[in-house]
Structure 1
């Protein structure tokens, strides 16, 4: 497959907006890279297939547009056809789209938009619109001692949106307001060797197991000295927010989320070594809170030794430590790429409240990550974490935090 990779110079008129814009030269450099798809995760299992990545370079020879159609096979979902696109017309504006359809249960339609070009770049707007069905979803029960023996499967069918606007009220400090709508339906999943969640648990035991609606509003403060939003190498980040969901606005239940998060990036050796740390706490307060609206750990961005949504309770405490080591820089198919190794430790626990946290409730997940970084926009990653249920492997785009 590597032999079929190529670099082409394409007349710009053949690549209309949004593939290119005035920031591109004429002709346009397009690098085509066919790749095998070999992915594995605790919830989905093994996925095999192939994709072709089309990397479209702007006049500065930066990858400004990525198009990646792919086809793969998974024993639970059958054959899946996917089209992914990422567009970075400027450092202050970007959008992503993902269109995916499987022959069994799964489908995913997403659009993400970010724009920080308003009011002299002091106003940042974000939008995320989605409609998906995930037939690999799992539920084990609540609290940190939920057992692998109680594992069940369901299809998480959702649609909704998340909107936010952040305004820089002081240097490095942003006031953020947001609106979120989520409609969830629970259906039988695609994993046949596991019991259906709604057959094992009742609505009284697990609120929201029969579906729910969430309509919530958020306000928060963000402090950031990061040198890059998507690929930071130095700086500090802190965020505190409050989100409320009320029945009078259409939610199935009334509850509140309180969240604080801090992150730090500390480079050494001209950023060849970057020590990264994150500490986060989340608290959910209310009665009959739907299970997927509570505080949740597990997956590629929290506890990488477990599948998504492995631990659920009313609050969580999470710490992630990672050392990002640039092994070498190498031009692959005329694309300059940083190859990174990232040993990490994830430590976290769910609990009713922080004062009820117990030492034996915390999960310790060591692991190792492999990263291919195409600056300034694209990160491909493979993370392997070890938890009590065994190893977990995640393949995806972007840094985990």
Structure 2
């Protein structure tokens, strides 16, 4: 599985913005200001007027996740608009408290200087173990809009990581904790083939260290398992290349309402590139969006299959399910094996369109079902191993590019709640 931590910034700003949006009804005081463009040196906006609209929204932080526990705190979100009254820049300093990580301060920023170019960053540091420094750059304007460039660079430490063992029957009683400390990048360049096809060439590097975790009530993974049992338990380096073929008729990249999407990928790891061992990832993904009543109702499905082949594959490089974008009834990385099959069904229902703090948002409710299992290979799949996770999501969408969400899924161990930015798929 391509276990690039490209959603790690959810553990900071994303965990707060959605719940903050849902708490807007509590009449928290926000304000709108109009400032001269030259007084905002950070602003890079082709479509901004000389007088810029800035909406300031103070919000509380109340978040919970299966691995990290409860987080509380506060933030101030600054939303800078362009001439079309769309958000061009978003800045959000925040401070929060968590029993496991102490006090965390962070700054999240998102810049949309042009319709097909954006930059995001997250700077976060806790008093106990955790830190997160990330930057993500997307540009679809290069080579006369024929090159789709994506770069994600990161350095983080997550003291809430869990390991239960391998295969679909790994028991809850074997839960252990460790700190996942990583540094690396993920680079991808896409080239169009015809109207709806794209070839993507990628390069991915991650250097991983495994240390004692922050959750003291759980045993340390390194005390319960050996390197012979869990490859990569003492740390590892992964350096892989990737080749993907994508077919897409989606009407929007970030907030699609109709169309289809298919992706076939192969990602080999070579020792000559500095990887710890040689193995290969194969992945197939299919998604469909079916709108009704002028997109007030959108039925979505996703099917995925991932296979990892090779020897001595590090445990965090194998096929993994669990978390906000796969099985939402469990925490991140709950199930690990050589392959997985996943099916997500979701009905996104727009309840109403509401303007609050001078920002217009669509408010959605999204009942869903997640069905999936890890296995040695697809021909050895066992129906008894599949996890059935029903749940419900609540979404606030500021079009065309911002989605805040709260998803609650129910697994065999009870409910799990995830808060984040962007749709889960």
**Structure-2-length-normalised TM-score:** 0.93
Which structure has more RCO (C-alpha within 8 Å, separation ≥ 6)? 2
Aligned partner of 2:196 in structure 1 is 172
Aligned partner of 2:31 in structure 1 is 6
Cα deviation code 1:367-386 (max 9, x no counterpart): 00000110111111000000
Task: Please say if 1:307 is aligned against 2:320.
Answer: no
Cα deviation code 1:307-360 (max 9, x no counterpart): 000000000000001000000000001100101000000000000000000001
Aligned partner of 2:63 in structure 1 is 39
**Aligned-pair CA distance for 1:64:** 1.4
Task: Please say if 1:343 is aligned against 2:367.
Answer: yes
Whole-angstrom distance in 1 between the partners of 2:293 and 2:261: 22
Report the secondary structure of 1:119's partner residue.
Answer: helix
Asked if 2 retains the 8 angstrom alpha-carbon contact of 1:2 and 1:34, the reply is: no
Aligned partner of 1:22 in structure 2 is 46
Aligned partner of 1:229 in structure 2 is 253
Give the length in aligned residue pairs: 400
Report the secondary structure of 1:292's partner residue.
Answer: helix
Asked if 2 retains the 8 angstrom alpha-carbon contact of 1:296 and 1:350, the reply is: yes
Aligned partner of 1:187 in structure 2 is 211
Task: Please say if 1:395 is aligned against 2:419.
Answer: yes
* Higher helix proportion: 2
Whole-angstrom distance in 2 between the partners of 1:94 and 1:265: 25
Whole-angstrom distance in 2 between the partners of 1:71 and 1:27: 30
Aligned partner of 2:90 in structure 1 is 66
Asked if 1 retains the 8 angstrom alpha-carbon contact of 2:28 and 2:58, the reply is: no
Report the secondary structure of 1:120's partner residue.
Answer: helix
Distance 1:75 1:27, change over 3 A: same
Whole-angstrom distance in 2 between the partners of 1:286 and 1:12: 55
Asked if 2 retains the 8 angstrom alpha-carbon contact of 1:88 and 1:377, the reply is: no
Cα deviation code 1:167-197 (max 9, x no counterpart): 0022110011000001000000000000000
Asked if 2 retains the 8 angstrom alpha-carbon contact of 1:10 and 1:27, the reply is: yes
Task: Please say if 1:201 is aligned against 2:225.
Answer: yes
**Aligned-pair CA distance for 1:238:** 0.3
Asked if 1 retains the 8 angstrom alpha-carbon contact of 2:45 and 2:88, the reply is: no
Asked if 2 retains the 8 angstrom alpha-carbon contact of 1:324 and 1:343, the reply is: yes
Once the two structures are superposed, the pairs formed by residues 376-391 of structure 1 within 5 Å of their partners are 376-391=400-415
**Aligned-pair CA distance for 1:88:** 1.3
Asked if 1 retains the 8 angstrom alpha-carbon contact of 2:46 and 2:113, the reply is: no
Whole-angstrom distance in 1 between the partners of 2:274 and 2:389: 39
**Aligned-pair CA distance for 1:3:** 4.6
**Aligned-pair CA distance for 1:94:** 0.8
Question: Superposition RMSD on alpha carbons, in Å?
Answer: 0.9
Whole-angstrom distance in 2 between the partners of 1:254 and 1:319: 29
**Which consecutive unaligned segments of at least 5 residues does structure 1 have?**
none
Whole-angstrom distance in 1 between the partners of 2:344 and 2:56: 35
Whole-angstrom distance in 2 between the partners of 1:200 and 1:211: 16
Report the secondary structure of 2:106's partner residue.
Answer: strand
